[in-house]
Amino acid sequence: MTALLAMEEITGGYGDADILLDVSLKVGKDEIVVIVGPNGAGKSTAMKSVFGLLTIRGGRMMFDGDNITGWAPNRIVQRGICYVPQVDNIFREMSIHENLEMGGFLKKGDLSAAFDRVYTLFPDLKERHKTLAGSLSGGQRQMVAIGRALMLDPKLLLLDEPTAGLSPKYMEQIFQICRDVRDTGVAILLVEQHAKQALAFADRGYVLAAGKNRHEGTGADLLADREVAEMFLGG
C-alpha cells in the first residue's frame, strides 16, 4: 500500500500535556480509515494533529511526499487536506450555495466545476441551494459540511464524528456518502463513536486507548477480535 498519509510515532497535545503517545497511523489512497476507542482515548486529538491543530513534540507527519509536521492549518488546507469539525461545521446564516462558496474561498478562478462535483454527489443540496443552512435537518447539515470541505478538491478528508447525534437512518446515509466520496478518489479518515457500525463499513480501523495505538486491521478483523470486542464494543 502506498500511504497518502503516514502519522509516524506522533507525540503531542494541547499546551504542555501530551495526549497522544507514539501514535502511528496510515491512510492509503482511496481508503476509508476509522479511528475508534473509548472516550478520552485521543481519537479526535489524533485527527486534529493531522490538521496542525495541536503541538507535536515527537514523530513526524508525512502527506503525499511532504513532511507536513508543524505546518499551519491554512497551508495544510492548500496542500489537500480538509477538515470537518464535529460541531458548528456550517455557516448557519448563509445559504447552502454560500456555504460551499466559502469552502472554495482559497481556490483561484472558477468554482463551477467544484460546485458541479458537490451537487452531483448531493442532489438534495442542489435542489435547495438557496436555503439557509441553519434551517436544515441534521443529516443535510452534514452533507453541507462535507460538501464545503470538498470544494477545494482535497486528497484527504478528515471527519470528526460525522454521525454524532444522528438517527441510525441518517448514520447509514452518512456512511453511504463517505463511500461515494471515496469512490471519487478522496481518501477519508474519520473518528467514530459508533464503533461497531463504523468498523463494519470502513476499509481499515485503528483502536486507540489512553493516547496509544492498541489494535489495527481491517474492519472485519477488528470486529472479530475478541479483545477488541470486549474492550470497546460491549461484547
Partner 1 sequence: MDFLELLNFYVIPGIVIGSIYALGAVGITLIFAILRYAHLAHGDLATLGAFVALAVVSGLGVSPLAALPVAIVATAAVAVGIDKVFYEHLRERPKIVTVMASLGIALMIRSVVQVFWGVDTQTYVRGIVRPEDYFGLRIRDREIYTVLAMLLLVGALQVFLTRSKWGKAMRAMSDNPNLALLSGIDNKKVVVLTWVIAGGLCAAAGFFLGLNTELKSLMGWSMLLPVFAAAILGGVGRVEGAVLGGLIVGVAEELSVLWIPSEYKAGMAFVILLFMLLVRPTGLLRGKVL
The footprint of partner 1 (CB under 8 A) covers 73-74, 77-78, 83, 85, 88-94, 98, 101-103, 105-106, 148
CB of 63 to partner 1, least distance (A): 17
CB of 3 to partner 1, least distance (A): 24
Distance in angstroms (rounded) separating the CA atoms of residues 18 and 25: 17
In Å, what is the CA distance from 223 to each residue of 74, 218, 228, 229?
36, 9, 7, 6
Q: Which is nearer to partner 1, 12 or 103 (CB)?
A: 103
- Give me 178's grid cell: 463517505
CB of 161 to partner 1, least distance (A): 16
CB of 232 to partner 1, least distance (A): 29
Q: Which is nearer to partner 1, 51 or 232 (CB)?
A: 51
Distance in angstroms (rounded) separating the CA atoms of residues 135 and 56: 38
Q: Which is nearer to partner 1, 18 or 160 (CB)?
A: 160
CB of 183 to partner 1, least distance (A): 25
Q: Which is nearer to partner 1, 79 or 128 (CB)?
A: 79
∠ at Cα 211 (206, 213), nearest 5°? Answer: 35
In Å, what is the CA distance from 88 to each residue of 133, 145, 150?
11, 9, 17
Q: Which is nearer to partner 1, 85 or 139 (CB)?
A: 85
Distance in angstroms (rounded) separating the CA atoms of residues 51 and 82: 8
